[in-house]
Amino acid sequence: MNFDTDISSLNVTIMGLGLHGGGYSSAIFFAERGANLTITDLRDENILKPIIDKLAKYKIKYVLGKHKDEDFINADLVIKNPAVPLSSPFLKLAKQIETDISIFLKFNKRPIIAVTGSKGKSTTVSAVYDVLHHFKNDAKLGGNITTSPLNFIEECKNNSGSEVILELSSWQLADLKESKMLIPKIAIITNIMPDHQNRYSSMDEYVKDKKLIYANQTKNDFLICNFDDEYGKIFAAESSAKVLFVSQKALPINTEGAFLRDYKGYVRINGMEEQVLPKDIKIPGEHNRLNLLYAALVLKLSGISSKDISKGLKNFTGIAHRMELVTVRNKVSWYNDSASTIPQATAAAMNGARTPFRLIAGGTDKKLDFNGTIDSFSQALSIYLLEGSATDRLTVFLDNKKISYNGPYNNLQSAVSAAEKACNPGEMVIFSPGATSFGMFNNEFERGDQFRQIVLDLP
């Protein structure tokens, strides 16, 4: 299908408007090009109203709270939200299925830096972009980080521009399986942890989707893997690309990549070692030090000097919802780690705390394993749990370990207030749920926004 000439004659159905930007950007893309557009979403108008209001000037048919067969049968093209499983019976009625990522890749002529992984990918891509755009001001960032690449698609239709950095979830990668259009110049898999097991039948199926990030790479491309992760060596053995590793410890002498030594970061390429990460960084947690090391290696491969990389990453302050310092009140530091949706991420946040802390956690279950993470909870001065199916499972583990907790609370305000009353100067409060947000919140971003506002409203 020729998207440049045929869009105005197309019947397009967007399945899943969503709240993260992909559906909205797809709607803008097709509406502005004259397509006959239908948007269908299982959520009702009250939830989607902020997005619908932004689209008010366009002629769009909405089918909300349900899906109808005819909207898929009569569509020339269906644009699916990544959250919609490919097994949906409605998608089986579609003539052609695309996503905002696949549409972008059909037009894009710029080199791609693609990042996936269970955790750390948003911090990694943000750090890469934060430094890279100082030297290449037309560099772009999009994907799972809630900015659709369709927002800057017109600027990427020629091959004279700088790199496009894409954060890609396993679901977004799965949607690209048949297209073979994703050929990153640099691909990164930060780590593999149990995640989305409410959506996948097994870890093997989840990992299989992650592997798609390097499936079409050649010997002229780079794949960056985690040397400390058992899956990293599997990915390296399978890939056709030149493989570089990242490690928390010094890499073997003949292994190229990046590593930490005495809290400083170094890259080793073509046998040459250079420091790229200082000991003092602004974002807390050893897991974030590793995320910055991924960024440093990507920046080095993109032609940025080691001195500029070190200076840029030292000043990187992190991103919203990922160990974000909200404020310091009465000498108590409040951190928003709402993007922590798996127990391992919450454990990493706790293990990275350098001062005494209190923890707010809990939420909705997605069939994840708490084994191996529970001992980290004993580090907290006190724990405040939000209601939810994950919390129901978590409390069993905590009870078995005789780790005390408060709650569960049926709202975030109550949990924050309880934590605030217990705090002493010099402590920190970490909001790191270790679970999904559904039930009490629409998504982890709304959850983090609410936490930030509640904290800022404290006396």
Could you read off the pLDDT of 168-197 as tens digits, one per residue?
999 999 999 988 899 999 999 999 986 555
pLDDT at position 221: 98
Is pTM, for the whole model, over 0.95? Answer: no
pLDDT at position 382: 97
pLDDT at position 234: 96
The per-residue pLDDT for range 24-33, each reduced to its tens digit, is 999 999 999 9
What are the residues facing 8 on neighbouring strands?
Answer: none
DSSP three-state, residue 170: helix
Contact 248, 264 (CB under 8 A): no
Q: What separation, in Å, do the N-terminal and C-terminal C-alpha atoms of the chain show?
A: 59
DSSP three-state, residue 436: strand
pLDDT at position 159: 84
pLDDT at position 285: 78
Q: Enumerate residue ranges in the chain where pLDDT < 70.
A: 1-5, 19-22, 194-199
pLDDT at position 108: 96
pLDDT at position 359: 97
pLDDT at position 196: 53
pLDDT at position 456: 96
CA 263 from centre of chain: 25
pLDDT at position 369: 72
pLDDT at position 3: 61
pLDDT at position 173: 96
Q: How are beta strands 60-64 and 36-41 bridged, if at all?
A: parallel
Structure tokens at 413: 């305000």
Domains in the chain, ordered, with CATH?
9-98 (3.40.50.720), 102-314 (3.40.1190.10), 324-456 (3.90.190.20)
The rounded distance, in Å, linking the Cα atoms of 125 and 318 is 11
Q: How are beta strands 222-226 and 140-143 bridged, if at all?
A: unpaired
Token pair 């009569």 is found at: 74
Structure tokens at 131: 């430094």
- How many Cβ atoms from other residues are within 10 Å of residue 90's Cβ? 18
Contact 139, 304 (CB under 8 A): no
pLDDT at position 378: 93
Residue 335's identity, in one-letter code, is Y
